[in-house]
Amino acid sequence: MKWFFALLLAANLMLWGYPSRPVAAPRLNAEINADKVKLIASLPVQVVSRPASPVEAHEIATASAAIAKPTPAPTPTPTPAPKAEIVTACMRWNGIGQEQTDTMRARLKALGISSTETVVSGKVWVYIPPQTDIELAKKKAQQLNDQGVQDYYVINNGGRWQNAISLGVFSSREGADRRLNELKEQGVKSAVVRERDDSPTHVTFALRKVSADQQQKLEKLNNQLKGAQLQQSKCS
């Protein structure tokens, strides 16, 4: 029995008594047959889509256009400047000889001025006798204007009545006397009445809505005429 125990002890000593060589712990992350791993090329992934409907296509196109072209900011509308009011006046153009009527009518039409014509003729004439020269006649005419007299013109045609101031030609003595009394009430003392067949005949243009620019052109035209008188009058 003792020998069996001894034998068992010896066997245990032989198995566990001597130190053994250390064994390396296996690596958890060790590559397994790394040299035999082959890389397989990736295949392209195909995305299968259905065609868009006409409504969807229109919405996509509209959205793309909106992204590509941003809506510009609205341009503010400038406020128009107020138009300047054109001031007009009525005028009377006296002393136009009958031989000049057609030419002056065409000039007025070219300037865009509307007018009416009155042929002044008769046997009874209200006038201021001729002055010694044209300058004195113009000075006398300015005095008449300052007194409120409007219907007059200086005769400057080189004839018998050169430098006289016409104040009206009438067909009857009654009309001439009435005019003479009106002139006296306005302070005109040198006017007289003459009953003669050789009293001058002329045309008067009544001009309406004459602008300042048109008036300047009329004044230049009036200076080229003999015996014509351009002046403002009341609008009827």
The domain spans of the chain are 87-121+201-236, 122-199
Q: What is the pLDDT of residue 16?
A: 53
Q: Which residue has the tokens 């010694």?
A: 132
Report CA-CA distances (Å) from 23 to 18, 20, 26, 110, 203: 15, 9, 9, 128, 146
Tokens of 162: 């050169």
Classify domain 87-121+201-236 at the CATH class level: alpha beta
Give 31 or 112, the one with higher predicted confidence: 112
For range 185-213, the mean pLDDT: 84
Contact yes or no for 194/93 (Cβ under 8 A): no
Q: Which H or E run contains 216?
A: helix 212-222
* Residue 23 clears pLDDT 60, i.e. is over it: no
Helix-, strand-, coil-residue percentages of the chain, each rounded to 5: 35, 20, 45
**Do 87-121+201-236 and 122-199 show the same overall fold?**
yes
Contact yes or no for 193/180 (Cβ under 8 A): yes
Percent of the chain, pLDDT > 70? 60
Distance CA 161, CA 138 (A): 14
pTM of the model: 0.44
Tokens of 225: 């005429």
Classify domain 122-199 at the CATH class level: alpha beta
Q: Which residue has the tokens 């009394």?
A: 181
Percent of the chain, pLDDT > 90? 17
Least trusted range by pLDDT, from 68-77, 109-118, 143-152: 68-77
Distance CA 187, CA 232 (A): 20
